Structure 1
Amino acid sequence: MSPCYLGPAREVLHVFERLCWVRYGNSPRTVEDQSRALAKVLSRLRIPGYVSREDLEVALAGLSKGERVHAVKAVRKLFRALGRPDMVEGLKVPSYGPRRWHIPSDRALKRFYKALDRGPYKLAFRLLAETGLRKGEVLTARVGDIDWRHMALLPVKASATKKTGIGFLTADTARMLEAHLRAIGATEPHRPIWPYRSDEWLRKAFRRAEARTGVHVCPQALRVRFADKCGEAGVPDRYVDIMQGRAPRSVLARHYTPSGLKKLRRLWLKAMPLLTAPYRA
């Protein structure tokens, strides 16, 4: 196998980021994570210059398991785009066993919710808890993604690897969302619901609430809790998968219709009292 030439690291990273945006349609978080991991790989290679398969494997071996997850995905994209799939053939993404999530009790979640010190933070908590959507789907949603008639949040940013879900809101949360949008002057469909460039604002808000209560909550735990409460309420798994974006695209498309949304909302309403217990009066 002949070596492959790589230019200066800065140029390689620029090409890679463009590849992620244009060819793969990756999310900002994915581009950031994989670019950071690729930069660490490149720092261990003698570039600009020719790189062998052995050089690449040695560079990857020097990373932590978590870093290799993103790095392997990044180098596979890069070398395939360079016309050298042989350089990455057989490289495996490190696997992990299923993660066990600790879901706080409703009483603990109520303390946590009350400790959130601003209205937007409480709204974000409610949207994550009620919709069961991924953090990125909630935090990058735009005004045009809101279906006020069905009180639903319909993110449109699917990618090659992740499909978007279909989330529903209570009337109280919808009113909070309307008030929030008025406060930030977001009326046009293209305007983001959250006027922030990253999720750091939510991370800090959750850390402050944790410091005050001793209760640890993260967005993914609320997503896991959503599925658990839906199951407890008797919502069939296949419909939970649709709401959380795990169903095939053809199945999801059928439920974006008015009749499909009404059916999903009727099922969601069975779980609504359990989902909203941490902040329901």
Structure 2
Amino acid sequence: MIDIKNIDDNMRRLLLKKAYEKLGSSIYEKLQKSRRTIYVYIRGYDERGREIRIPDEVVEKVVNLLPLDEVYEVLEGFSPRRYTVNDIIGILSRVKQDPEFREVFFMLLSKTLGDYLNTTTSKYIVTSDDIELFKKKLREKSKKTASDRLAYLTRALADLNYQLSAEDLNEYLLEVEEESKGKAEHIAKALKLFIKEVVRLRSPQLARELYDSFKTPRSKTQYKPPPLDLDILMKIYENISDLAAKSYFRLLVETGLRTGELFVLTVEHIDLEKRVINIMKENQTKRAYISFLHVETANWLKEKYLPYRNQFVEKYFDSVKNLALIQEIDLLKWKNKLFPFREDRIREEIKEAMDKVGIRFRLYDVRSFFASYLAKRGVSPLIVNLLQGRAPPVQFRILQEHYFVISLEELQRIYDEKAPKLEKL
């Protein structure tokens, strides 16, 4: 894969010098050359001052003695400051088109980042090919079972944005279970079948992690979240150093919204002047209507988080634009997201803060804390349901118009007085 003949004299000497530094005197035997000859090769000229070219067969042996990444380091040079995201995108494009280059790329990737990749590759991106394969697998099932599994899987994948990770799956099923244990059971069965029949073929190790991350809900089993209080959550908040993760956790605690809802929020959803989060999203499982922000949090977002977020988007927009062509990324959607950062990065930052405090729990448990916090402060269960999106918008309007007269101003007043707050003026 390396064209020895095209390696110039200077690079030949550098390769030999690197091999000598790495192997020491054993290189004489490995190359079957004397100490004097190796010295002359590295120097580049003999006693008479004539230039000496290292023969191809010697260079070939040298290349075979060195790890491939070290060979490329000599041939291509390496300076982290010289490489940008656009360079990465260019490499990925070539990886996709050039089989020989792809082989070298994955060999080097596995060699240099193998352990890291094993610990960070925790998300599976579902493709249209995966869906088609699943449909073929369903032909072995009865017509009704096949129809049910496909319908529930399609719905789940849409809710999960066609990305599967252990944490997201676990939290998503808790959300569905809030609405109906029966639906949660059907969705869990569809997801497990998909992971078993499709994901396992593509990525066996990740498939096992995804499959074991959730259990099929049963009507008799009920998960009990750990007891949380505001002091514990404040300590965690104070120990989060990353600004994006800190802002996400703050909204999670103070709004009681679902973890996934915050990740799909756009900047257009938030009115900082009125301190309102307009979600107005209605489907079978996720039905948040509206939520609010404390004065301090609205100021925090305006003065600290949003400038940081906007700078991030501006800095990486062109790179993501180029990457969008390869990864089919919705550029406008990414640009407008309130949290355009990697989910796993935000979650990991929060987990690290939890460890510093000495406690671990699921982020979804914060939603239960929000509900119990309001209940202990005398807030009606109906109001809690409205604030947390358990009542569909249609039902909310009916309550407004016929049974339960309450304005958004009154809801906000209750929120301001009763909702948990992580930071005070």
TM-score category of the 2 structures, normalised to the smaller one: 0.5 to 0.7
Hey, what does 1:150 align to over in structure 2?
A: 274
Judge conservation of contact 1:141–1:192 (CA < 8 Å) in 2: yes
Distance in 1 of aligned mates of 2:130 and 2:309: 40
- Secondary structure, aligned partner of 1:219: coil
Matched, 1:181 2:342: no
Indicate how the Cα distance of structure 1 residues 221 and 161 shifts in structure 2: closer, same or farther if over 3 A, else same: closer
Indicate how the Cα distance of structure 1 residues 122 and 26 shifts in structure 2: closer, same or farther if over 3 A, else same: same
- For residue 12 of structure 1, the aligned residue among 121, 133, 136 is 133
Judge conservation of contact 1:233–1:270 (CA < 8 Å) in 2: no
Judge conservation of contact 1:235–1:268 (CA < 8 Å) in 2: no
**Per-residue deviation, 1:218:** 3.4
Hey, what does 1:42 align to over in structure 2?
A: 197
Hey, what does 2:368 align to over in structure 1?
A: 224
Distance in 2 of aligned mates of 1:152 and 1:256: 18
Hey, what does 1:135 align to over in structure 2?
A: 259
Indicate how the Cα distance of structure 1 residues 157 and 195 shifts in structure 2: closer, same or farther if over 3 A, else same: same
- For residue 27 of structure 1, the aligned residue among 128, 150, 159 is 159
Task: Provide structure 1 residue ranges, at least 5 long, that are not aligned to the other structure.
Answer: 1-7, 45-62, 70-92
- Secondary structure, aligned partner of 2:232: helix
Indicate how the Cα distance of structure 1 residues 256 and 164 shifts in structure 2: closer, same or farther if over 3 A, else same: farther
Distance in 1 of aligned mates of 2:248 and 2:372: 20
Which has a greater percent of helix?
Answer: 2
Judge conservation of contact 2:249–2:350 (CA < 8 Å) in 1: no
- Aligned residues, how many? 229
Indicate how the Cα distance of structure 1 residues 280 and 256 shifts in structure 2: closer, same or farther if over 3 A, else same: farther
Matched, 1:164 2:288: yes
Report % sequence identity: 22
Distance in 2 of aligned mates of 1:40 and 1:226: 33
Let me know the Cα RMSD of the aligned residues: 3.9
- Secondary structure, aligned partner of 2:336: coil
Judge conservation of contact 2:226–2:361 (CA < 8 Å) in 1: no
Distance in 2 of aligned mates of 1:255 and 1:173: 29
AA partner of residue 268 (structure 1): Y
Give the number of the structure with larger relative contact order, counting CA–CA contacts within 8 Å between residues 6 or more apart. 1
Task: Provide structure 2 residue ranges, at least 5 long, that are not aligned to the other structure.
Answer: 1-128, 139-148, 170-187, 200-209, 315-331
1:184-223 to 2 correspondences below 5 Å: 184-185=309-310, 191-196=336-341, 198-223=342-367
Runs of 4+ in 1 over 6 A off after TM superposition: 14-25, 63-66, 186-190, 254-257
Distance in 2 of aligned mates of 1:201 and 1:28: 17
Distance in 2 of aligned mates of 1:153 and 1:11: 38
- Secondary structure, aligned partner of 1:158: coil
Indicate how the Cα distance of structure 1 residues 168 and 98 shifts in structure 2: closer, same or farther if over 3 A, else same: same
Matched, 1:244 2:388: yes
